[in-house]
Chains A and B, each alone.
Chain A
């Protein structure tokens, strides 16, 4: 039991590092993930979305998005000064691309997770940004939105 868990954890670490590093070595490495049953993959994705406070699944990378909607998510996070987030490039891995859609029960990419909870795609994130909800949600995670500081500067 513990052996398989540590294998899964090791696979996840490689996966996370590869993806966050810009998708260079990205994808699902190792036997542990590819050979996993759908139940196993769900567990791994579950661990993945809970590993970091802000997790996004994109087409492309934050440095080089390959989709306008994914880019919108990246830009919104940038505007709020969120630099420390996990970004996974689904274009590097067809299994991840389909797996995350099944896991989230959401048919499209990008997908945004805050504190392990699925928030939505680009449309919903934009809406949250427009109505101020995103600032609040980030605050709950202990992340202070850069836009608060800009607003305060302006008021003074």
Chain B
């Protein structure tokens, strides 16, 4: 039985969510086994970035908004690592949109800062984009040591349709 890519993405997200629990709550191991079994039956390739790779492949070298985000974050935070992914393809917006992004920013400037402070720094750097075309921005803001523990740009949860009244606004 072939699974829809959306269901697959939901499963992957569920799996990631439960995987997070495992580090602190081992009692949920049974949930992990169940999800793994479900995923094993799935015929979609087991790439956690299946949806994302479709996005980045579709948008060639990256559009102007992506370039602006990259440039501004580099200027504001001098990051050691900056991974940026246009996730618009997974949402209810036209093809080629630059509205939904996920970014991992690794900077020693984040030392001693709370997650809220780190995110606010990122928002400040991207205020123009966020007031404009960017509708969603998922941020992973880590110090170099934190990044080394888990050097991975996560996957965002699947879109649930968004607003039916307005289109592409925050």
Contacts and interface: CB of A to CB of B under 8 A. Distances in A.
Query: Bound pair: A and B?
Result: yes
B170 A72 contact: no
B170 A67 contact: no
Contacts of A129: 20
A119 B116 contact: yes
A11 interface: no
A123 B116 contact: no
A150 B161 contact: no
Contact of A67 (B20, B28, B159): B159
Contacts, number: 87
A65 B10 CA distance: 14
B11 to A, nearest CB: 13
Contacts of B170: 101, 107-109
B116 A130 contact: no
Contacts of A79: 21
B40 to A, nearest CB: 23
Contact of A66 (B140, B157, B161): B161
Interface residues of B, number: 36
A38 interface: no
B21 A147 contact: yes
- The secondary-structure label for the interface of chain A is helix
Contact of A154 (B17, B26, B120, B159): B26
Interface in B92-134: 115-116, 119-120, 123, 127, 130-131
A119 B159 CA distance: 23
A101 B137 CA distance: 14
B160 A123 contact: no
A110 to B, nearest CB: 11
24 contacts: A66-B162, A67-B159, A67-B161, A67-B162, A68-B158, A68-B159, A69-B138, A71-B160, A79-B21, A91-B163, A91-B165, A109-B170, A119-B116, A121-B119, A122-B138, A122-B157, A126-B20, A130-B24, A147-B21, A147-B24, A150-B28, A151-B24, A153-B27, A154-B27
Interface of B: 13, 17, 20-21, 23-28, 115-116, 119-120, 123, 127, 130-131, 135-140, 156-166, 170
Given A69-B138, A94-B166, 18 more contacts: A67-B159, A68-B13, A68-B156, A69-B157, A70-B160, A71-B160, A75-B17, A107-B123, A108-B136, A120-B116, A127-B115, A129-B20, A130-B20, A130-B24, A132-B24, A147-B24, A150-B27, A150-B28
